């Protein structure tokens, strides 16, 4: 048994007995001051739950797990933080308070994507916009076929059977892109008209379109990600819908747009990532809008924990290693906003650590996602690869 002591006035929880102090110090719990271990509420709860800890106040009254938790209920995400802390510890890995972060650890990984100038031949053609479907039909056969084969713009003929049919269908993003950059004119609508229609039908349409154009202008092909629960699937420059031998070109990346002003249920966010992972596609999160400088408070990080990982022959510890990640602790039924996530990622960049999102579900099982920054040359937006991981 480990004996913990609660100071009811200050709400500080400590361990003072020499054997307990030694045990906790060896396990990298708390902070040592003059022979006494001072514990955070989460650490104290873990010791009571897992390490057979017993907590008493000055009068000798015994406190249960819920008694201690009730004292700190005003702390943000207390249970989410406890459950993710416990899970990481239970895997035999070290974890400590984010407030212990100092300096820049130099462990940020920047994934560099290629970029090229997108140039189209000069076209002048018309189409008919179908407002109910947010689609444009082009019945100019040579132009429709040329746009499809050269630039993978629109769908000529039938999906995966371009020889069946003579019309080309453009989605709303392709329609606007070609109105602005490709010589398209509509018989029945102006650009402003279809933009207004799209904004009324698709929430945050301007943000989603801006991401589409950002990648398209750098030579990438963007097609619907509907089958994978995302906004787009992404093909690298040079991709073509023309089948080679008997093989179709398959996308290896999907993009989901997360506007700064939007809040999304964590379970929906995680579901899209898991779907992408299940079909072996890399999930890219897009946060549109020019990146602004975010002030980081080094003394009071908004993230929750510093995570140590495995190394050859064992695990990293605060004694002989440095943290690998910053963890953001969440539960499946809460919401996260694009701006909130951007601020957390800026904090990771400041300390030179990658971010792990730890999500505790309704059964208290925790799922982890690693987030790595993408460099897309010429872009002012923020893009991140997100991967499901098992520590």
Over residues 33-90, the pLDDT tens digits come to: 999 999 999 999 999 999 999 999 999 999 999 999 999 999 889 999 999 999 999 9
**Alpha carbons 138 and 189: distance in angstroms, whole number:** 14
Which member of 16, 250, 252, 261 is catalytic?
A: 250
DSSP symbol at 68? H
Q: Write b or e for each residue in 290-327: b if 16 or more Cβ atoms lie within 10 A of its Cβ, otherwise e.
A: eeeeeebeeeebebbbbbbbeeeeeebbeeeeebbbbb
Model pLDDT, residue 58: 93
Residue 274 makes CB contacts below 8 A (sequence gap 6+) with 388
DSSP labels, 39-52? E-HHHHHHHHHHS-
Are the C-beta atoms of 172 and 189 separated by less than 8 Å? no
Annotated active-site residue in 281, 308, 350, 368: 281
Mean pLDDT of all residues in 102-131:
92
pLDDT of 144 higher than 60: yes
CATH architecture of 289-389: 3-Layer(aba) Sandwich (3.40)
CATH number belonging to the domain at 117-218, selected among 3.40.718.10, 3.40.1170.20, 2.40.30.10, 3.20.20.60: 3.40.1170.20
157: pLDDT strictly greater than 90 = no
**Mean pLDDT over residues 269-288, rounded?**
88
Pairing assessment for the beta strands 325-331 and 354-360 based on DSSP bridges: parallel
Cα–Cα distance measured from residue 366 to residue 119, given in angstroms and rounded to the nearest whole number: 46
Rounded CA-CA distance 16/6 in Å is 11
* Distance separating alpha carbons of residues 136 and 144, to the nearest angstrom: 11
Looking at residues 317-322, what average pLDDT do you find? 90
Provide mean pLDDT across the span 142-166. Answer: 88
* Whether the predicted model's global pTM rises above the 0.85 cut: yes
Instruction: Please tell me the predicted confidence (pLDDT) of residue 244.
Output: 61
Class of 2-75 in CATH: alpha beta
Tokens 């009254």 sit at which residue? 61
pLDDT digits (tens, 9 = 90+) for 345-389: 989 999 999 999 999 999 999 999 999 999 999 999 999 999 988
What would the pLDDT profile of 224-261 be if each residue is shown by its tens digit?
999 898 999 999 998 888 766 555 577 899 999 998 88
Q: Which CB contacts under 8 angstroms, 24+ apart, belong to 153-157? A: 153/177, 153/178, 153/182
> Torsions phi, psi of 10, nearest 5?
-95, -15
Average pLDDT over residues 134-142: 96
SS3 of residue 236 by DSSP: coil
pLDDT at residue number 248? 59
**In terms of DSSP bridges, do strands 263-265 and 53-57 run parallel, antiparallel, or are they unpaired?**
unpaired
pLDDT at 188: 95
Q: How do residues 180-222 score in pLDDT, each as one tens digit?
A: 999 999 999 999 999 999 999 999 999 999 999 999 999 999 9
End-to-end CA distance of the chain: 29
Same fold, 117-218 and 289-389: no
Catalytic-residue membership of 262: no
Any catalytic annotation for residue 250?
yes
How far apart CA 208 and CA 318 sit, in angstroms, is 42
Cα 164 from chain centre: 40
In whole angstroms, what separates CA 51 from the centre of its chain?
33
Which pLDDT score, from 0 to 100, does residue 243 have? 62
What pLDDT is stored for residue 247 in this prediction? Answer: 58
Give the alpha-carbon dihedral of 32, 36, 38, 42, to 10 degrees.
100
User: Is it the case that residue 92 has pLDDT exceeding 70?
Assistant: yes
| More confident call, 160 vs 308 | 308
Q: Does 350 qualify as catalytic in the annotation?
A: no
Average pLDDT, the chain: 92
Q: How far is CA 300 from CA 101, 184, 231, 289, 303, in A?
A: 10, 53, 35, 27, 9
Q: How confident is the model at residue 263 (pLDDT cuts 50, 70, 90)?
A: confident
Residue 340 has what pLDDT? Answer: 86
Which of the following is catalytic: 209, 235, 308, 384? Answer: 235
- Where along the chain do its domains lie? 2-75, 117-218, 289-389
């Amino acid at each position: 048994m480990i004996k913990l002591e609660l100071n009811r006035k200050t709400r500080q929880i400590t361990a003072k007995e020499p054997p307990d102090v030694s045990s906790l110090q060896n396990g990298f719990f708390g902070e040592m001051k003059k022979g006494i271990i001072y514990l955070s509420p989460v650490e104290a709860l873990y010791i009571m739950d897992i390490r057979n800890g017993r907590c008493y106040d000055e009068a000798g009254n015994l406190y249960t797990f819920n008694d201690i938790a009730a004292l700190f209920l005003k702390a943000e995400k207390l249970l989410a933080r406890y459950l993710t802390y416990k899970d990481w510890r239970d895997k035999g890995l070290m974890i400590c308070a984010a407030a212990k972060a100092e300096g820049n650890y130099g462990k940020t990984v920047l994934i560099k994507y290629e970029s090229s100038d997108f140039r189209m031949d000069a076209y002048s053609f018309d189409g008919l916009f179908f407002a109910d479907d947010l689609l444009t039909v082009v019945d100019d056969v040579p132009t429709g076929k040329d746009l499809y084969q050269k630039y993978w713009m629109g769908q000529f003929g039938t999906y995966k059977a371009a020889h069946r049919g003579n019309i080309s269908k453009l989605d709303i993003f392709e329609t606007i892109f070609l109105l602005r950059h490709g010589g398209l004119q509509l018989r029945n609508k102006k650009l402003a008209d279809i933009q207004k229609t799209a904004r009324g039908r698709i929430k945050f349409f301007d943000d989603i379109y801006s991401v589409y154009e950002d990648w398209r202008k750098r030579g990438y092909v963007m097609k619907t990600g509907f089958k994978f629960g995302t906004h787009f699937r992404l093909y690298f420059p040079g991709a073509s819908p023309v089948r080679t031998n008997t093989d179709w070109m398959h996308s290896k990346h999907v993009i989901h747009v997360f506007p700064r002003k939007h809040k999304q249920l964590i379970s929906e966010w995680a579901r899209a990532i898991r779907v992408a992972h299940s079909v072996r596609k890399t999930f890219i999160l897009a946060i549109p809008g020019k990146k602004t400088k975010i002030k980081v408070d080094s003394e009071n990080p908004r993230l929750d924990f510093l995570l140590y990982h495995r190394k050859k022959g064992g695990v990293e510890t605060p004694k002989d290693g440095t943290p690998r990640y910053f963890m953001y602790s969440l539960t499946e039924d809460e919401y996260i906003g694009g701006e909130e996530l951007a601020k957390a990622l800026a904090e990771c960049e400041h300390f030179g650590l990658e971010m792990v999102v730890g999500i505790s579900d309704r059964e208290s099982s925790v799922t982890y996602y690693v987030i790595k920054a993408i460099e897309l040359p010429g872009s002012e937006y923020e893009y991140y690869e997100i991967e499901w991981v098992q520590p």
